[in-house]
């Protein structure tokens, strides 16, 4: 099967969509399928991209208020010409921007079966950037966009039900994977913890993600301050970057900012933590929850997305009623008390067990089956 994947974000950009789409593309190639990647050319990118996949690089522009991220410009005529001569069997459109919309239009004109991925709650983002009046319009656009495709793939049963009850047609579940070989408790690093100023029995509170308004990081800081009041040697380590970093650093000099990390460096920071705080209320899923759990680190998060799907034991973490900030702080403090001096081994075991079955290979196989079913349905 020949699959074209259209995405407006791709590594080295670091975000959940880019990394998820990369994992799906690699999974398809491992299964023997041919993958063509259609995306905007990134700034300072060499003319010839890496040859891991066939690539079609198109013009893009910077995403306002998100330095380092881009969106693709309309390209329906270009894609129509390209796919007329080199026709894929199926399309997966991962982003809803101008490039994704163009790909849907070209696919419909050519009769190529296409599915979309619902990765980001852009309607929620409008509220966080002072555009709350636009929320219904953004949601209506998302519904119209995804209903032009043969299917919409989402990562949780909760989201299948929510979108289906709000007018989205043919919503299908595709679980997210996590690399349990990379993200593993064996990467816990005493030297790294020492650089944080911590002994073996001290608490490292960790957060990983983009530092932006919609991530609700003020609540994570509040929870950490409650923990530090009871455990004075605790440290808060934040991995990631974004527009909110400068303000956070100025207001909270006690926080350690590690910047953007990848690969084993990122895995060491996860595994060297003792408790992961994830206060966001606007995620479609929250891949970092899986990575923390795979690293043996319990998670405190609101009860939706990855947390609802995979935190099944009090030893693995706590799920808090969405929007109950006081309860979030109480749960974080309670977890910190339970794992302090020293962290019990069963906590790490329970966290990792909650995601042990989410292998990239199994998710890729399901993804390939879903794409193949689009073609069979079109032929019928």
- Output the average pLDDT for the chain: 90
If asked whether residues 97 and 42 sit together in one domain, one would say yes
Question: Among the listed ranges 41-45, 252-256, 298-302, which one has the minimum average pLDDT value?
Answer: 41-45
If asked whether residues 169 and 73 sit together in one domain, one would say yes
If asked whether residues 349 and 368 sit together in one domain, one would say no
User: What's the confidence (pLDDT) of residue 52?
Assistant: 79
If asked whether residues 16 and 84 sit together in one domain, one would say yes
User: What's the confidence (pLDDT) of residue 128?
Assistant: 47
Taking 90 as the threshold, does the pLDDT of residue 25 lie above it? yes
If asked whether residues 233 and 146 sit together in one domain, one would say no
If asked whether residues 26 and 157 sit together in one domain, one would say yes
Q: pLDDT: is 327 or 66 the higher one?
A: 327
The CA distances from residue 160 to 123, 178, 214, 310, in Å, are: 17, 21, 23, 16
Average pLDDT over residues 205-214: 92
If asked whether residues 332 and 317 sit together in one domain, one would say yes
- Contact assessment for residue 205 and residue 312, using Cβ atoms and an 8 Å cutoff: no
If asked whether residues 226 and 198 sit together in one domain, one would say yes
Average pLDDT over residues 272-288: 92
Q: Is the pTM of this model over 0.85?
A: no
The whole domain housing 289 covers 185-353
Q: pLDDT: is 119 or 183 the higher one?
A: 183
The pLDDT confidence band at residue 380, using thresholds 50, 70 and 90, is very low
User: Percent of the chain, pLDDT > 90?
Assistant: 72
If asked whether residues 153 and 60 sit together in one domain, one would say yes
Question: Max CA-CA distance within the chain?
Answer: 66
User: What's the confidence (pLDDT) of residue 222?
Assistant: 98
CATH number at residue 153: 3.40.50.2000
Q: Give the model confidence (pLDDT) of 288-310 as tens digits.
A: 999 999 999 999 999 999 999 99
- Domain count for the chain: 2
Average pLDDT over residues 116-138: 66
Taking 80 as the threshold, does the pLDDT of residue 186 lie above it? yes
User: What's the confidence (pLDDT) of residue 137?
Assistant: 86
Taking 50 as the threshold, does the pLDDT of residue 139 lie above it? yes
Average pLDDT over residues 216-220: 96
Dist. CA 41–CA 22, nearest whole Å = 16
User: What's the confidence (pLDDT) of residue 346?
Assistant: 72
Instruction: State phi, psi for 55 to the nearest 5 degrees.
Output: -135, 140
User: What's the confidence (pLDDT) of residue 121?
Assistant: 64
The CA distances from residue 291 to 127, 196, 372, in Å, are: 28, 21, 29
If asked whether residues 261 and 338 sit together in one domain, one would say yes
User: What's the confidence (pLDDT) of residue 340?
Assistant: 85
If asked whether residues 143 and 254 sit together in one domain, one would say no
Taking 60 as the threshold, does the pLDDT of residue 193 lie above it? yes
The pLDDT confidence band at residue 126, using thresholds 50, 70 and 90, is very low
The pLDDT confidence band at residue 284, using thresholds 50, 70 and 90, is confident
Average pLDDT over residues 280-293: 91
Q: pLDDT: is 43 or 243 the higher one?
A: 243
If asked whether residues 173 and 229 sit together in one domain, one would say no
Q: Give the model confidence (pLDDT) of 63-107 as tens digits.
A: 776 656 678 999 999 999 999 999 999 999 999 999 999 999 999
- Contact assessment for residue 163 and residue 152, using Cβ atoms and an 8 Å cutoff: yes
User: What's the confidence (pLDDT) of residue 131?
Assistant: 54
Question: Among the listed ranges 25-39, 46-60, 87-101, 280-294, which one has the minimum average pLDDT value?
Answer: 46-60
The pLDDT confidence band at residue 233, using thresholds 50, 70 and 90, is very high
The pLDDT confidence band at residue 170, using thresholds 50, 70 and 90, is very high
Dist. CA 218–CA 215, nearest whole Å = 9
User: What's the confidence (pLDDT) of residue 135?
Assistant: 73
Among the listed residues 356, 355, 183, the one whose alpha carbon sits nearest the alpha carbon of residue 268 = 183
């Amino acid at each position: 099967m020949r699959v074209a994947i259209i995405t407006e974000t791709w590594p080295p950009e670091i975000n959940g969509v880019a990394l998820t789409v990369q994992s799906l593309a690699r999974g398809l190639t491992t299964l023997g399928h041919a993958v063509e990647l259609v995306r905007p050319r990134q700034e300072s990118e060499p003319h010839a991209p890496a040859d891991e996949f066939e690539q079609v690089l198109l013009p893009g522009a910077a995403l306002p208020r998100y330095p380092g991220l881009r969106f693709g410009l309309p390209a329906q005529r270009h894609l129509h010409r390209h796919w007329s001569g080199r026709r894929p069997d199926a399309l997966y459109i991962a982003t809803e921007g101008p490039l994704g919309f163009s790909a849907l239009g070209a696919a419909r004109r050519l009769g190529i079966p296409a599915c979309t991925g619902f990765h980001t709650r852009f309607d929620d983002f409008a509220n966080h950037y002072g555009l709350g009046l636009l929320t219904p319009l953004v949601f209506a656009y998302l519904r119209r966009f995804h209903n032009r495709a043969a299917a919409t793939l989402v990562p949780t049963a909760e989201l299948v039900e929510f979108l289906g009850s709000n007018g989205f047609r043919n919503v299908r579940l595709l679980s997210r994977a996590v690399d349990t070989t990379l993200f593993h408790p064996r990467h816990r690093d005493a030297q790294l913890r020492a650089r944080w100023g911590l002994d073996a029995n001290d608490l490292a509170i960790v957060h990983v993600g983009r530092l932006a308004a919609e991530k609700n990081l003020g609540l994570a800081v509040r929870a950490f301050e409650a923990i530090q009041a009871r455990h004075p040697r605790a440290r808060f380590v934040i991995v990631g970057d974004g527009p909110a970093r400068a303000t956070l650093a100025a207001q909270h000099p006690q926080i350690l900012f590690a910047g953007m990390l990848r690969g084993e460096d990122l895995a060491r920071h996860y595994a060297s933590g003792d408790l992961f705080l994830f206060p966001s209320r606007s995620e479609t899923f929250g891949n970092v929850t899986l990575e923390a759990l795979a690293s043996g680190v319990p998670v405190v998060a609101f009860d939706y997305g990855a947390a609802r799907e995979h935190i099944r034991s009090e030893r693995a973490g706590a799920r808090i009623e969405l929007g109950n900030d006081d309860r979030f702080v109480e749960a974080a403090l309670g977890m910190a008390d339970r794992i302090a001096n020293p962290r019990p081994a069963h906590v790490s075991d329970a966290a990792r067990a909650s995601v042990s079955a989410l292998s990239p290979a199994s998710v890729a196989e399901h993804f390939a089956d879903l794409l193949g079913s689009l073609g069979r349905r079109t032929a019928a």
